[in-house]
Structure 1
Amino acid sequence: MSHTHEHNHEHSQSSKGLSHIHSHRNLIGFDEHGIPTVTLKASDHGGESSLEDFTKDYMNAVQEYRKTFPSKQNVIENTPDPAVRDMLLRMEQLGIDTTFDRFDAQKPQCNYGLSGTCCKNCNMGPCRITSKAPKGVCGADADLIVARNLLRSAAAGAAQHGMHAREVMLALKKAAEGELDVPILGEQKIRATAEAFGIKQKNRQLKNVAKDLADALLEDLSRTVPAEYKTISACALPERQKVWEKLDILPISVYHEVFEAYHKTSCGTDGDWKSVMQQFLRVGLAFTFSGVVGASIATDSLFGVGDRVTSKVNIGALEKGYVNIAVHGHLPLLVSEIVKAGKREDLIELAKSKGAKGIRFYGICCSGLSAMYRDSGVIPLSNAVSAELVIGTGALDLWVADVQDVFPAIMDVANCFKTTVVTTSESARLPGAERFEYDHHHSNLNETKKLAEKIVRRAIESFENRKGMQVYIPPYEVEAEVGFSVEYIHKRFGSMKPLADAIKEGKILGIVNMVGCNNPKVLYEKCIVDVADELIKNNVLIITNGCASFPLMKLGYCAVSGKEKAGDLLREFLEPDLPPVWHVGECIDNTRSSGIFAGIANELGKDMYELPYAFCSPEWGNEKGIDAALGFRLNGLNSYHCVEAPIHGSKNVIEFLKYGTKELLGSTMNVDTNPVNLAKKIVADMKEKRKQLGWD
């Protein structure tokens, strides 16, 4: 990475880190969609806009951005899934609020919150930055406040995925030690990963290798004494490890970096926005390699990788007359045992004795996505934002709420339909829900099968108590192909070479990993569908996981017939039995996407950042979304979004987050509220990459 003389002057003070990032003089502007943009001036001298002008401009920009937020009526008229439209109208008739009603009620959203210039980290505030008050009580300016807020959001995301990771790592460890009575199904994954980690395997039982692997993953999660971050050493690209070491952003552990993030951003600690953003990058690495990669390794090791299967999708797949159980959240252990219990003949007969036809399972958010291709018969219905609409059918007898992305509002709807809600974690309780939980110390982890049976029995009781409840199920149901992975691709093609050849030859223009949450700041699920339409007609293959994958499943993009939407070259590659969107699983299965990217790069003898790849989360909405995009950007891949981050009160943080990382990491953050224009930008950037490779 080259540096100017000006950069080298600062490097004399520190050979590592982000000290060479100087404060560019920027002018804020607005594109045709009202989104703030930054223009870098050629020098630090002359023509600089005043703070008063800048404050006025960014507030105007935020107000214009706010005008792009849709109303509930806009959603009803434009959401692409007719089942969502039907259920929104039904909920309105019943007088039940949804996410979209509450979003409308919050309007107009606070300008200071949207711009990131509100600070409440101490009790001398809250402070907000204006032209009249350009600094908070402690002296923090807009750059520092925006950077601190962004870092705290990233730390929260790392804690969320980190807790998910801890659960599955602990489960793998306890299963290996014999304290958890579940089989270890992922021998191939354990063996291959153990080799990368340098764990001895010769003449050792699988359970002992699995225990050592779980211990290594847990150590990276919680290390306090600085040492090698084994997951990064084993799994990250060597080229990237050199970049991160040079920037001094290699983490100690997730726990430490989250701890340090809150320490740095507390009152009177770190006053340098550049230092705060350096910690932001460290948190992103910790999130990626423990919260995502580590969690994925542990999950696939314990439960197996699974395989490609065909699944029914959407609300129309619900059936009356069964004991209907929904699993919602992120943790696979108890969910897998609940599904197993629900297939037991004695419990099925109990359900039939109460008048049911049998027991059926449905998936909401990532619990459903993790189970759908591992446990037959778990039907994915909805992402987190529209979970209330699923309960609003009146067809669910019991709702299993584990952790994350379970909105408190589901309780209001569940009470209207006498749907029993049970929580399964001490970390994630809901007022009024029944508790069938692992305790804080996981001392009852060995009671997993008992908990699962109790939950299924409670569902049967709920079915009996709900007889006569009015049910409405919109008649929309399709099939989707799910369970794509590195392992499936090798089984299907023999290696990554056919994919690599197709990209080089131009049958596949490039590959996009399309993921993320949903967000009422844009038209629900339409942004995802509009981006997908534009990409696949331009011969871009899409890999998907997490909440963003639901509209792609529900609307036929994950079906083999979906290839008819693709461009001629991509369609030729997909023949005879591949869809244009490959569903790889839950949100931690971003690891599978990056594994596919890396495998193709290896075949072509290229670094991953050189290839026509992209990360896209059109509707991202929660803190984990910041980290997910950052994880791919740390690997040199651009990210693309239809929703802005709350950063536009700071021209320096805007420049750093969106454009400044081009020099540091080789990647940029691109935002456009118009999804078609966003997709066109992705296609154009891919064509430029191909031109640089000599493939145009």
Structure 2
Amino acid sequence: MDEKKKYQYQDELTSSRQAPEYRSGMSLNERIKLVHKLNYSKDEVIAHTANKAVAEMVSHMEKEGIGNTFDRFMQQHPQCGFGLTGACCAFCSYGPCRVNEKHPHSICGKDVDLIVAGNALRRLASGMSAHGAHAREVFIALKAAGDGSAPIPIKCPEKAWAVAGALGLDAEGKSVEQICVEIADRFIDDLQRALPKHHDTLFALAPKERSGLWERLGIIPISAYHECFESNNLTSHGTDSDFESHMQAFLRTVLAYAYTTVVSTSLATDIVYGLPRRSKLNVNLGSIRKDNCINIGINGHAPMVAFAICDIVGTPKIMEKVKAVGADDIRLYGMCCTGGEFVERDLGIPLVAMASSAEMAVATGAFEAIVVDQQDVLPGMMPVARRFHTKVITTSPSGRKEGAIVLELDYYLKNLDRIYELAEQILDIAIENYRNRDSEKIHIPDIRAKVELGFSVEEIARLFDGSMPDKKIHGLARLLEEGKIRGIANFGSCGNIRGAVFERNQVVIARQLIKNDVLVTAHGCSGMGLLFAGLAHPDASKLCGPGLREVVEALQIPPVLHVGACTDSTRASQVMAYTANAAGQPNPAMPFAMVAADPAAEKTMGARYAFILNGIETYSCVQDNTLASDRFIDYVSNRLRPMVGAAMNWNPDPYQTAEDILRMLDRKREALGWPVSDYVIGTKEEIEETIPDTVEIGKSFCLNS
């Protein structure tokens, strides 16, 4: 057995739980105790979250008697240990069946390894379905923009030509509209086909070293729909009962998730809605306007209606209506990944909440309307909205809310050609509702952060001497080889309520990494936590090690480059792949890491394992519901590494996780013959108790604050 790792610093909060360490062969009761111990109370969240605006709102909601996610989490204690560890199967009506040492098999005969693998596969398929629904909407928007069936503009034709070239489409003599239709048809086919065929998109976009490996492993998917279909078929009553077969389907589904519902979606979104553009902005709840302004929150993932609202919100016709109800202005605010799409594109729309904190934004009482579509819009928002004048409006038949106003794109998209009429109707409801605002009920924390955003792959390539046609970023490769940048780490995933203090782990890890010269990219809800912590502004260079500080100050960029919403993990993976290309190395040889500190939604399973299949070591502090199976843990934590060059790493201590990452980066550097310098893990006082001056209270530091 390997000697137990020694760490420079131990997290006081994690160690205070006195949770047993995971070890192979431990009893189920010990595993359940491990997970139960790693929970935190609402008071601990208030005391230790890095997002002080959330802490203030949780306290305010308690005072006002308004429940939220943290209250409901405490009411669930103790959560079912069988479910927490994955030792429960509820697929068929024989069950639910729970297995342990005394009763090791379900009624149908499954052991714990098969149960855990089946649960994981179905969760992965569910996450792919969610991103697939998002993908379908974007692909249809792209096709409608091309064939003229809806008044959707093509905002970045240059990206359309670039994507067509990458896919090997014949563009000669064709208009950009025709090319958009062809790209959309290709992506839609990848989404839905039933007949096996060469996966042209995957082989065109993936690094050749990776696609060749996946082909040898037999995990090239047929289509997203088929792999979702097959995942549910394979795990259905009395069908597949082979662990290895389950895991092969798992890896195949990960690739369908990655290349059909994420990579293609991100590319199509850029074509229709435009590339990210550099901008400076305020974020967090303190950026909400209190007086004389109609406030509308946009929450969810599907962009069609959201961007239509954005296109018309400042037009003279709308502003005339705003003035008529006595307001001076009307503003949109982003929540969750629609907010991530907005802030990247220099639209002047502040980001105020991630998925798990959207209830806190609603509880400010400052919103006339919250417009939601699908995914990560928690149902707990509705009773909060009812405490105020706030109207909740749903725009997707996949994401209705009990008691909300329904103004949606038809299930069959028959009204897509009237999308701007729909957007105006939504704005009219919000504008009229301004008359019902009760200013006495408004409570907005005076806390916000300044950020600089808009880091597309194209912009990062421009900054670091890259070539998009050659798929190489030479400057980053040189800086890595010289040692000014120790490595690159991408942060994605969610903010979890269970197993972590909300918005703490990712901030601790990111601050430790930039302190030790690691350049960070970030996206999705976890990336939003880094924005709210003030790490995505050039002034955060003061928190960096000397090498990284020299680089970011010379370029006047932040040490954390925010690359967008959840599907924009595409950009982070491209930055890594293009840097590896420039260094002449495959991904697994490079000092790269993926950090999904607090995964929650089903989609995050696909996101994490997509990076692993691309050869990037991946780290989490919150365990999936898989701890009951040593075989599953061994497969994803050990067996995957010789297969694909990377694996999953789990440690609930964020300080130790940061050190694990730094050790891994240094091992990769040493193997490449690149210089390795000592790292230093910062203390709690430095990392958590010192708030950077990019986070301010009671001051306005952007024109649009």
Q: TM-score, normalised by structure 2?
A: 0.91
1:164 aligned to 2:134?
yes
Contact kept in structure 1, 2:278 and 2:346, CA below 8 Å: no
**Equivalent position SS for 1:437:** coil
Output the amino acid matched with 1:80.
A
Match for residue 556 of structure 1 among 512, 534, 556: 534
1:591-633 residue CA offsets vs partner (Å, 9 max, x unmatched): 0001111111111111112100011010111111111000000
Report the Cα offset of residue 664 of structure 1. 1.2
Partner of 1:42: none
Distance apart, 1:668 and its partner CA? 1.4
CA contact (8 A) 1:119 1:128 kept: yes
Aligned counterpart for 2:642 among listed residues 655, 658, 663: 663
Q: Do the aligned partners of 1:516 and 1:548 also contact (CA within 8 Å) in 2? A: yes
Match for residue 534 of structure 1 among 512, 516, 522: 512
- Contact between 2:144 and 2:152, CA under 8 Å: does it hold in 1? no
Give me the whole-angstrom Cα distance separating, in 2, the residues matched to 1:231 and 1:547. 27
Distance 1:580 1:271 in 2: 47
Q: CA deviation at 1:36?
A: 5.1
Per-residue Cα deviation, 1:162-190 (whole angstroms, up to 9, x for no partner): 11111000100011010110211222211
1:298 maps to 268
Of the candidates 524, 530, 534, which is equivalent to residue 502 of structure 2? 524
Mapped contact 1:315–1:381 kept (Cα < 8 A): yes
1:573 correspondence with 2:581: no
- Structure 2 partner of 1:64: 34
Q: Per-residue CA shift, 1:655-684, capped at 9, x if unaligned? A: 112111012111111111110100100000
Q: Do 2:277 and 2:346's aligned partners in 1 also have CA atoms closer than 8 Å?
A: no
Deviation at 1:648, TM superposition (A): 1.9
SS at match of 1:547: helix
Distance in 2, matches of 1:671 and 1:493, equals 32
How far apart, in 1, do the equivalents of 2:525 and 2:339 lie?
Answer: 10
For each residue in 1:267-316, what CA deviation from the matched residue of structure 2 results, as whole angstroms up to 9, or x when unmatched?
10001011011100011000000111010111011112121111111111
Q: What is the distance in 2 between the residues matched to 1:38 and 1:231?
A: 41
Q: Are positions 1:319 and 2:289 aligned together?
A: yes
Describe the SS at the equivalent of 1:477.
strand
Number of aligned residue pairs: give it: 655
Does the CA-based 8 Å contact 2:520-2:561 persist in structure 1? yes
C-alpha displacement of 1:395 = 0.5
Deviations 1:110-149 (A, max 9, x none): 1101110100111011111022221111111111111100
For residues 26-55 of structure 1, what are the alpha-carbon distances to aligned partners after superposition, in whole Å with 9 as ceiling and x for unaligned? 9xxxx987465456xxxxxxxxxxxxxx4x
The structure-2 alpha-carbon separation of the partners of 1:468 and 1:569, relative to structure 1 and needing over 3 Å to count, comes to closer
Distance 2:550 2:610 in 1: 32
CA RMSD of aligned residues (A): 1.7
Equivalent residue in structure 2 for 1:76, among 37, 42, 46: 46
Unpaired segments ≥5 residues, structure 2: 3-13, 467-472, 676-705
Question: Structure 2 CA distance, aligned partners of 1:142 and 1:478?
Answer: 46
Corresponding residue for residue 453 of structure 2:
482
Is residue 364–residue 383 contact of structure 1 (8 Å, CA) maintained in 2?
Answer: yes
Superposed displacement of residue 373, structure 1: 2.8
Q: Which residue of 1 aligns with 2:353?
A: 382
How far is 1:260 from its partner?
Answer: 0.2
2:227 to 257, 262, 272: 257
Distance in 1 (alpha carbons) for counterparts of 2:517 and 2:386: 47
Query: Which residue in the other structure is 2:588 paired with?
Result: 609
Asked if 1 retains the 8 angstrom alpha-carbon contact of 2:31 and 2:628, the reply is: no
3-state SS of paired residue (1:558): coil
The aligned residue for residue 227 of structure 1 is: 197
Query: Is the aligned partner of 1:678 residue 2:657?
Result: yes
* One of 626, 634, 644 as aligned partner of 2:623: 644
Q: Is the 1:36–1:58 Cα contact (8 Å) retained in structure 2?
A: no
What is the distance in 1 between the residues matched to 2:49 and 2:454? 26
**Are residue 491 (structure 1) and residue 462 (structure 2) matched?**
yes
The aligned amino acid for 1:563 is S
2:398 aligned residue: 427
The amino acid that maps onto 1:396 is F
Q: Which residue of 2 aligns with 1:622?
A: 601
Of the three residues 369, 372, 387, the one matched with 1:401 is: 372
Q: Which one of the candidate residues 185, 208, 215 is aligned to 2:185?
A: 215
Match of 2:213 in 1: 243
Q: What secondary structure does 2:331 align onto?
A: strand
Indicate yes or no: 2:256 matched with 1:278.
Answer: no
Matched position secondary structure for 2:365: coil
Cα distance in 2 for residues equivalent to 1:689 and 1:460: 56
In the alignment, the residues of structure 2 paired with residue 504 and residue 240 of structure 1 have an alpha-carbon distance, to the nearest angstrom, of 23
Match of 1:337 among 293, 296, 308: 308
Percent identity of paired positions between Structure 1 and Structure 2:
39
Distance 1:198 1:549 in 2: 33
1:118-157 residue pairs with structure 2 within 5 A? 118-157=88-127
Q: TM-score, normalised by structure 1?
A: 0.92
- 1:492-546 C-alpha deviation (Å, 9 max, x unpaired): 3442222111111011100000111011120011111110111111111110001
Residue 116 of structure 1: aligned partner: 86
Alpha-carbon separation, structure 2, partners of 1:680 and 1:515: 19
Which residue of 2 is the match for residue 47 of structure 1? none
Q: Partner residue of 2:437?
A: 466
Change (3 A) 1:556 1:338: same
Change (3 A) 1:197 1:35: farther
Q: 2:575 aligns with which of 591, 596, 613?
A: 596
Q: Structure 1 runs of 4+ off > 6 angstroms?
A: none
Shift of 1:469: 5.2
- After superposition, give the CA deviation of every residue in 1:444-480 in whole Å (9 maximum; x if it has no partner): 1111111111111111011122254521111112210
482 and 35 in structure 1: CA distance in 2 versus 1, 3 angstrom threshold? farther
Deviation string 1:560-599 (CA, Å, 9 cap, x unpaired) is 1111000011101111411110000001100000111111
Q: Is the 8 A contact 1:341 1:456 kept in 2?
A: no
Q: 1:493 to 1:694 in 2, by over 3 A?
A: closer
Work out the CA distance in 2 between the residues paired with 1:526 and 1:244. 36
How far, CA to CA, are the matches of 2:586 and 2:618 in structure 1? 17
Separation of aligned partners in 2, 1:609 and 1:514:
18
The AA in structure 2 aligned to 1:690 is R
Query: SS in structure 2 opposite 1:154?
Result: helix
The separation in 2 between residues aligned to 1:237 and 1:124, in whole angstroms, is 45
* Whole-Å separation in 1 of the counterparts to 2:188 and 2:124: 20
Instruction: For 1:331, give the aligned amino acid.
Output: A
Q: Distance in 2 between matches of 1:34 and 1:277?
A: 29
Q: Distance in 2 between matches of 1:637 and 1:177?
A: 39
Residue 515, structure 1, aligned to residue 492, structure 2 = yes
More displaced, 629-638 or 477-486? 477-486
Residue type of the alignment partner of 1:261: S
Amino acid corresponding to residue 212 of structure 1 in structure 2: E
- Looking at structure 1, the residues matched to 23 and 644 of structure 2 have their Cα atoms a distance apart, in angstroms, of 19
Contact kept, 8 Å, 2:22 with 2:31, in 1: the verdict is no
1:348 aligned to 319, 322, 338, which one?
319
Q: Counterpart of 1:634?
A: 613
Q: 107-116 or 405-414, which moves further after superposition?
A: 107-116
Matched residue, 1:358: 329
8 Å Cα contact 1:166-1:218 kept in structure 2? yes
